[in-house]
Amino acid sequence: MRKILSPALVVLLVAAFGLTGCATKKWVNEQVSAFGQVTNTKIHEVQDSIETNQKAISELSAKQAALETDVAELSQLAQDAMARADEAGVLAEGNFLYEMTITDNDARFGFDKASLSDEAKAALDEFAAAALAVKGDAFIEIQGHTDNIGSEAYNLKLGWKRADNAMRYLNDAGIPLFRMNTISYGEYSPIADNSTKAGRAENRRVTLIAMQ
């Protein structure tokens, strides 16, 4: 036998179902709205992060371009010194400070000589004072050069002696040995014509590169 619901009960059930449906829809709408707000916030955060990163990359690229321009304007010997120091992990900032070559007539090294003249010592005193005045420690590469008289092997040794004597003098002036490096170019990097006496005298020299 089938049971028949009374009209009043049917109305009551419909009303209850309607109220439940409305409550569920409202809750869903609230959750969707909250999720949308969170999503928008995350999107803005990501956008801000991207903009910040792009700005940092742009600034870094500008600094790199400026550094490459500065390095391109250095002498080849200075560029080589910077590259060696960078490969050795010596430079903290990769900055070129200054370069000095002892080239005055009285300060040049005599033929087959590695000893420092008084004029050379005076030039090294000036260089040492400038290096010690640098805020933070300067790193110095000392390069020894010769003319082309004699064998290549002998000239490399003579270049080492000239650079080493300059380094020892700078050490006595207060620059720590661990802040300096010596290298000999021998006869391989002339700055004047080796076919003349004056040119050969100019090629007998010491070049100092200060970096930080």
> Within 10 A of 62 (CB to CB), how many other CB atoms are there?
10
What is the fold of 74-211?
60s Ribosomal Protein L30; Chain: A; (3.30.1330)
Among 65-69, 133-137, 201-205, 208-212, the least confident range:
65-69
Report the sign of the C-alpha dihedral through residues 144, 106, 176, 127, in that order.
Answer: negative
Would strands 180-186 and 96-101 be described as parallel, antiparallel, or unpaired? unpaired
The pLDDT of residue 11 is 42
Rg (CA), the chain: 38
DSSP-assigned beta bridge partners for residue 205: 145
Tell me, rounded to whole angstroms, the distance of Cα 101 from its chain centroid.
24
- pLDDT category at 13 given cuts 50, 70, 90 is very low
Q: What is residue 76's three-state secondary structure?
A: helix
Whether residue 5 is predicted with pLDDT greater than 60 in this model: the reply is no
pLDDT above 70 coverage of the chain, percent: 64
170 closest CA partner among 134, 127, 209, 202: 127
Check residues 91 and 146 and name the one with the higher pLDDT: 146
Please list, in sequence order, all residues whose beta carbon lies within 8 angstroms of the beta carbon of residue 171, skipping any fewer than 6 positions away.
Answer: 177, 180
Q: Which of 34-43, 50-59, 97-106 has the highest mean pLDDT?
A: 97-106
190 closest CA partner among 167, 207, 209: 207
The pLDDT of residue 153 is 97
Distances, alpha carbon 2 to alpha carbons 5, 46, in Å: 10, 64
Span 89-128, pLDDT tens digits: 888 788 899 999 986 566 777 788 888 988 899 999 999 9
136 closest CA partner among 95, 181, 88: 95
pTM summary value: 0.65
The answer to whether the CB of 212 falls within 8 A of the CB of 91 is yes
> What mean pLDDT comes out for the span 199-211?
94
Whether residue 31 is predicted with pLDDT greater than 50 in this model: the reply is yes
Q: What is residue 118's three-state secondary structure?
A: helix
Question: Where along the chain do its domains lie?
Answer: 1-73, 74-211
210 closest CA partner among 144, 163, 140: 140
Q: How many residues does the chain have?
A: 212
Average pLDDT score over the chain: 79
Q: What are phi and psi of 101, to 5 degrees?
A: -120, 130
The pLDDT of residue 184 is 97
Span 64-91, pLDDT tens digits: 444 444 555 788 999 999 999 888 888 8
